[in-house]
Structure 1
Amino acid sequence: MPMRVPFNMWREGAAYPAGSTVTVMNGNQLLTFQARINHTSTQSNRPPSPDFWQLVPGF
């Protein structure tokens, strides 16, 4: 079962399993992204990096 990971807990070096989700603030809108692959977070692969994250519409 995918786990929900609040974006405010995002930190470099954290592991995100494929299918896990994060919610990010974009202006005044909350967007939810799902990890495409297992990865360890870095500044270059944080949401909305399309190689690592997929937008979850209407979530």
Structure 2
Amino acid sequence: MAVFCGSCDRGCPALYVDEAARAGQRVVLTEDFGQRVRMSAEQFRSPAEEAKAGRLDHV
């Protein structure tokens, strides 16, 4: 879906969908040290809607 990077020397944070994973773990957020957070599409929907509405702009 997206790679969040400038020019990292250890990898870049990324957000993607793992179609092979079970439904509750398909959305994957990987940080620049390789740690992963997995969630369902329903769980991801809330922060995505918050971002679209501009409510995360202050972060």
TM-score, scaled to structure 2:
0.28
Select the structure with the greater relative contact order (CA < 8 A; seq sep ≥ 6). 1
* Larger helix share, 1 or 2: 2
* Larger strand share, 1 or 2: 1
